[in-house]
Amino acid sequence: DPEPWTGPRAPDRRPTRRLDVGGVPVGGGAPVSVQSMTTTVTADVDATLQQIAELTAAGCQIVRVAVPSADDAEALPVIAARSQIPVVADIHFQPKYVFAAIEAGCAAVRVNPGNIKRFDDKVGEIARAAADAQVPIRIGVNAGSLDKRLLAKHGGATPEALVESALWECSLFEEHGFGDIKISVKHHDPAVMVPAYALLSERCDYPLHLGVTEAGPPPQGTVKSAAAFGALLSRGIGDTIRVSLSAPPVEEVKVGIQILEAFALRERGLEIVSCPSCGRAQVDVHTLAQEVAAAFEGFPAALRVAVMGCVVNGPGEAREADIGVSCGNGKGQIFVKGEVVATVPESRIVEALIEKAMEIAEVPEDE
Residues in Cβ contact with 28 at an 8 Å cutoff, skipping those fewer than 6 apart: 15, 16, 17, 18, 19, 207
C-beta closer to ligand SF4: residue 107 or 289: 289
Handedness of CA 106, 130, 175, 16 (dihedral sign): negative
Q: Per rule CB under 6 A, is residue 276 in the interface with ligand SF4?
A: yes
Q: Per rule CB under 6 A, is residue 308 in the interface with ligand SF4?
A: yes
CA atoms lying within 13 Å on the CB side of residue 195 = 8
Q: Per rule CB under 6 A, is residue 278 in the interface with ligand SF4?
A: yes
C-beta closer to ligand SF4: residue 81 or 278: 278
Closest residue by beta carbon to ligand SF4? 309
CA 330 to chain CA mean position, Å: 40
Distances (CA, A) of 251 to 19, 48, 210: 26, 16, 17
C-beta closer to ligand SF4: residue 92 or 319: 319
CA-based max dimension of the chain? 77
d(CA 350, CA 335): 13
Among 52, 275, 305, 323, binds ligand SF4 (CB under 6 A): 275
Q: Per rule CB under 6 A, is residue 166 in the interface with ligand SF4?
A: no
* Sites for ligand SF4 among residues 281-300 (CB under 6 A): 281
d(CA 321, CA 335): 8
Min dist CB 322 to ligand SF4, Å, is: 18
Among 86, 195, 207, 309, binds ligand SF4 (CB under 6 A): 309
d(CA 263, CA 229): 10
d(CA 68, CA 48): 15
Query: Total residues at the site for ligand SF4 (CB under 6 A)?
Result: 12
Query: Do residues 75 and 41 touch, judged by C-beta distance below 8 A?
Result: no
> For ligand SF4, which stretch binds (CB under 6 A), given 62-70, 102-110, 226-234, 312-320?
312-320
Q: Residues marked as binding for [4Fe-4S] cluster?
A: 275, 278, 310, 317
Among the listed residues 119, 197, 214, the one whose alpha carbon sits nearest the alpha carbon of residue 159: 197
The DSSP code for 208 is B
> For ligand SF4, which stretch binds (CB under 6 A), given 178-186, 228-236, 269-277, 338-346?
269-277
C-beta closer to ligand SF4: residue 146 or 318: 318
Among the listed residues 263, 250, 224, the one whose alpha carbon sits nearest the alpha carbon of residue 8: 263
Among 314, 315, 324, 328, binds ligand SF4 (CB under 6 A): 314
Q: Per rule CB under 6 A, is residue 312 in the interface with ligand SF4?
A: yes
Q: Per rule CB under 6 A, is residue 280 in the interface with ligand SF4?
A: yes
> For ligand SF4, which stretch binds (CB under 6 A), given 10-18, 139-147, 236-244, 310-318?
310-318
Among 218, 313, 341, 363, binds ligand SF4 (CB under 6 A): 313
Count the neighbouring beta carbons within 10 Å of the beta carbon of residue 174.
13
> For ligand SF4, which stretch binds (CB under 6 A), given 19-27, 216-224, 263-271, 306-314?
306-314
**Can you name the residues that pair with 307 across neighbouring β-strands?**
274, 325
Min dist CB 223 to ligand SF4, Å, is: 22
Packing angle, helices 70-82 and 45-58, rounded to 10: 40
What are φ and ψ of residue 186, in 5° steps?
A: -90, 145
Q: Residues marked as binding?
A: 275, 278, 310, 317
Among 48, 225, 277, 333, binds ligand SF4 (CB under 6 A): 277
Among 170, 310, 334, 352, binds ligand SF4 (CB under 6 A): 310
Residues that bind ligand SF4 (CB under 6 A): 275-278, 280-281, 308-310, 312-314
